[in-house]
Structure 1
Amino acid sequence: MSVIDHGRRLIRVETTHIATLVPVRSVLVCLALVVVIIGAGLFATTIGAYEISFDAVIRAIVDPASDPDVRQVVTEWRLPRVLFAVLCGAALALAGGIFQSLTRNPLGSPDIIGFGVGAQFGVTLTMLVLGLNTYLFKAAGALVGGLLTALLVAVLANRHTMSSFRLIIVGIGVSAGLGSLTSWILISVSVEQAMMAATWGAGSLASLGFDQLLPAATAFVVFALLARPLRRSLPVLEMGDDAAMALGVRPGRTRLVAMVVGVALVALVTAAAGPISFIALAAPQIAQRLTRSNTPMGLAPVMLTGAALVVVSDAVAQLLAVPVGVVTLSVGGIYLTCLLAAQFVRRT
């Protein structure tokens, strides 16, 4: 391992299987984000009706002989929620990076294009119409809903060539239509069912345990491995189809794989915690600015940024006694307004 300076400091990592250059700034950013995640996660485990100090939390995690009551609260109730926040943030951020790179637009996230709303609509149908309320059925409903929405948006936006602007505009329209259908379903069922769906629809990490975490983590690892080759192919695709084909990238297959993986990541989170808005929109752009990268597809910084945003947002949500989706929606709305204003100023 050695440090090389090519205008910016790089670490050369070379083994028998891999050889790569890693920017020093990206490593420092990732380390800082890990510290934020650990600090916010430990703070989140101290919050609740049963107050626990930092020292007691750490002892409960590392010492099997610690107070059994405190250990049960920390390891069985609160720690899974923190781990789920990390998982959801990483999955949403990775999905956002995929779609923003695919559309070559910072607004090209599942929240804006409508894929997240499609996944939410699929879960709503599964829960309220089909009466299937287990995690696997909700995950299947979210995946089918998201993929069908992606197909519909792609078909409607495709006129000889698919521009990112047309894709976003069509996605906003499809999202509005699906939102109306979701509202119609909610007012057509009983009050108890509507309240259950509304609570889920606010986006909450409460009541999630290891039973849901283990299958979700397994699925996330699979999708993250599938997304790894996209880290190289999507930035090439941003240069245009002709340039991509000249460099050995197949545009059609790359777009299809990226679309399926991105929607699957959104479905994974939506099925477990409900829609957690704007993480997919904000995390890739924040990571790109922190690392000074030219693409939102830096996997480790993007996923750690998303994880940090959700962990911090969930800690704030617990302090305010509201679902985490309310916090991310409030902060994300401000971020979206600033992003739109910045793009307007840049164009004028």
Structure 2
Amino acid sequence: MSEDASHLLPFTLLLDALKAAGEDTRLRLIAVLAEAELTVSDLTEILGQSQPRISRHLKLLAEAGLVERHREASWIFYRRAHEGPGGQVVSRLLELLDRTDPVLARDRERLDAVRNARAVAAQAYFSSHAREWDEIRKLHVPEEAVEAAMREILADRPIRTLLDLGTGTGRMLEVFAPDIERGLGLDLSPDMLAVARTHLDHAGIRNCQLRQSDIYAIPAPRDSFDAVIIHQVLHFLEDASRAIAEAARVLRPGGRLLVVDFAPHDLEFLRESHAHRRLGFSREVMEGWLTSAGLVPERYRTLAPGRRTGDALTVSLWQARDPRLLLAGSNDSPADRQSAGNKEVA
């Protein structure tokens, strides 16, 4: 078998994909869906066609594997296929398309209008919550310092696939997008996903997707991601250990989990006014959960507030690794590996 044989497609499969794409509306849909995740309502506005007609074309494209669909509350979002044979066909078609073509240029203009309307709605939600978020941010070191520490901790090994649990505004995807091949952000709130989608669109990020999902039931099989991030999420949960176990399930052998949250504190108003279930986590408790999930804690770091006051929060970062590659390549015991790797970073 030649080196490129794995990229070749069976005759019937390729023929069906080309038949599905070989119609002007469907080819326009593929081009638009390469730019953003969109609903049927969005697409009817962009292409200027009826909803039944757009839905019929999307159904044909989905059956041919050229577009993907996912449900978010009462909405269904569509996006060009990235994986599998359908993803191969779409990638090649997009390479051949002239983006300056007047038809495609007009579609992009209408897409910009849809994005702008979406941004206005997302900003309204964001503004209504900005005061409470700002109130909490003032209690700890700047976000830039936290993000720099996160990048430093995960910089020792390339990340092909990244999962951000409780993605919120999508900021973690924005931070790591330049360094990964593919990112996925999950959140239970459709409102927050709307904010995240607007932020990623504005930043021009095309290698990350967003999905509505329960953090306790990640819609992915085992061994799916090189890295998983849980950033400032666990203190909202009833069962943080269960969320960690579910995150560990989808890590690939040798994959890393990075947890960022608060150290123990006594700011009771965060529980009363901001729905915090837990007032921080100790190093021992968190590392116990990581170990119970089958992971090996490797790094621990704290970022204390710049000015010591009674109303200040320390941010803690824990990084743990799936041990399966270590088990395959070392005769050391799990206890030896944990002792060697479980070091505090100043």
State the TM-score bracket (shorter-chain normalisation).
under 0.3
Structure showing greater radius of gyration is: 2
More strand by share: 2
More helix by share: 1
- TM-score after normalising by structure 1: 0.24
Higher relative contact order (CA 8 A, sep 6+): 1
